[in-house]
Copies of this chain bind each other. A is one copy, B any other.
């Protein structure tokens, strides 16, 4: 498929998102598969798993392999377009909000949501082992339905 043909703008909540430009701005070559993924993921702030993205693509009868979804999400993370959030051994979420913030993970529903109040992530600065620096501060507050 020619690249020019895949170039498009996606309308969402009154703003236009140009996936091609967004990928190029992050040094990512905008292939058809990458645009397909970007156009469903990067259009707004959301938390999706690789599986959810893959299913969404399949539902629209578009053929992209699971491997490519994983490879592409990994690439987006390395290039700074996405944050990875590990909530348990079988669930990795991809968060399009790359600014530092924290999350609630509802163990009953499997939903990941943002925590509004920001955490002061400097609390452990004095404990940092020598010759190391902080890559990220990952906070997941596991919540569940109040038992009646």
Q: For the complex, is A145 an interface residue (Cβ under 8 Å from B)?
A: yes
Write out, one digit per residue, whether chain A residues 79-97 have a CB within 8 A of any chain B CB (1) or not (0): 0000010111100100000
Which residues in window 53-94 of A have CB below 8 A to B? 84, 86-89, 92
Shortest distance between the CB of A141 and any CB in chain B (Å): 5
Contact status A143-B135, CB under 8 Å: yes
Tell whether A115 pairs with B142 under 8 Å between CB atoms, given A87-B86, A89-B89, A106-B132. no
Can you list 10 contacts pairing A with B, beta carbon distance less than 8 Å?
Answer: A104-B127, A106-B132, A116-B124, A117-B126, A129-B143, A131-B146, A134-B141, A135-B143, A137-B141, A138-B142
Q: Add 15 more A-B contacts to A117-B126, A131-B145 (CB < 8 A).
A: A86-B87, A102-B124, A107-B135, A113-B129, A117-B124, A117-B127, A119-B119, A119-B123, A121-B141, A131-B146, A135-B142, A137-B141, A137-B142, A138-B139, A138-B140
